[in-house]
Amino acid sequence: MPKYTLNVNGEPKAVDVDADTPLLWVLRDTIGLVGTKYGCGMSLCGACTVHINGQAIRACGTPVSAVGSGKVVTIEGLAKNGELTPLQKAWCDHDVAQCGYCQSGQIMSATALLASNPKPTDADIDAAMAGNICRCATYPRIRLAIHSAAEGKKGVE
Partner 1 sequence: MKTTITEKQPLVARRSFIKVTALAGGGFMLGSYFGIGEQSAVAQTTMPATMPTTQSARNAAGDFAPSAFIRISPSGVVTIISKNPEIGQGIKTSLPMIIAEEMEVPWESVIVEQAPLNGAFTGQVAGGSTAIPSNYGRMRRLGATARTMLITAAAQTWNVPAEECIAEDGVVVHTTSGTRATYGELAAKAATLPVPDEKSVTLKEPKDFKILGKRIGGVDNIKIATGAALFGIDQQVPDLLYATYTKCPVFGGKVSSANVDAIKKMRGVRDAFVLEGGNGLGAGVAIVADSTWSAFKAQQKLQITWDNGDKATHSTASYTEQAEAFAKASPQKEVAKVGDVDAAFASAAKTAEGMYFYPHLSHATLEPQNCTAQFKDGAMHIWAPSQNPGSAQDVVVKALNIPKDKISIDMTRIGGGFGRRLMHDFVVEAAAIAQKLNGPPVKLTWTREQDMRHDYYRVGGWHKLKGAVDESGKVVAWSNHFITFGENSIDRAGNGANVGADEFPNRFIPNYNLGQSIISSHVPLGFWRAPGSCAYAWTFQSFIDELAHAAGKDPLEFRLTLLGEDREVPGSGGRGRPYSATRAKGVLKLAADKSGWGKTLPRGQGQGIAFHFSHQGYVAVVADVTVSKEGELKVNRLTAGVDVGPIINLSGAENQVHGSMIDGYSAALLQEITVAGGQVEQGNFHNYPLLRMPDSPAVDAHYIETAKEPTGLGEPALPPTAPAICNAIFAATGKRIRSLPLSKQDLTWS
Write out the residues near partner 1 by the rule CB under 8 A.
Answer: 1, 17-18, 20-22, 25, 28-30, 32-42, 44-45, 47, 74-76, 78-79, 84, 88-89, 91-93, 95, 97-104, 107, 125-127, 129-143, 157
One residue of 7, 40, 89, 117 binding ligand FES per CB under 6 A = 40
Min dist. Cβ of residue 61 to ligand FES (A): 6
* Site residues (CB under 6 A) for ligand FES, limited to 3-32: none
- Nearest-CB residue for ligand FES: 60
Q: Rounded to an integer, what distance in angstroms lies between the CA atom of residue 31 and that of residue 116?
A: 29
Stretch that binds ligand FES, among 10-18, 78-86, 95-103, 145-153 (CB under 6 A): 95-103
Chain center to CA of 107: 5
Q: Is 44 in the site for ligand FES (CB under 6 A)?
A: yes
Min dist. Cβ of residue 129 to ligand FES (A): 12
Q: Which is nearer to ligand FES, 47 or 75 (CB)?
A: 47
Q: Rounded to an integer, what distance in angstroms lies between the CA atom of residue 141 and that of residue 30?
A: 33
One residue of 84, 99, 115, 127 binding ligand FES per CB under 6 A = 99
Chain center to CA of 64: 17
- Letters for 125-154 (x = contact with ligand FES by CB under 6 A, - = none) are ---------xxx-x----------------
Quick check: 99 and 146 in contact, CB under 8 A? no
Quick check: 3 and 16 in contact, CB under 8 A? yes
Helix, strand, coil percent values for the chain (each to nearest 5): 40, 15, 45
CB-CB neighbours of 7 under 10 Å: 17
Quick check: 63 and 19 in contact, CB under 8 A? yes
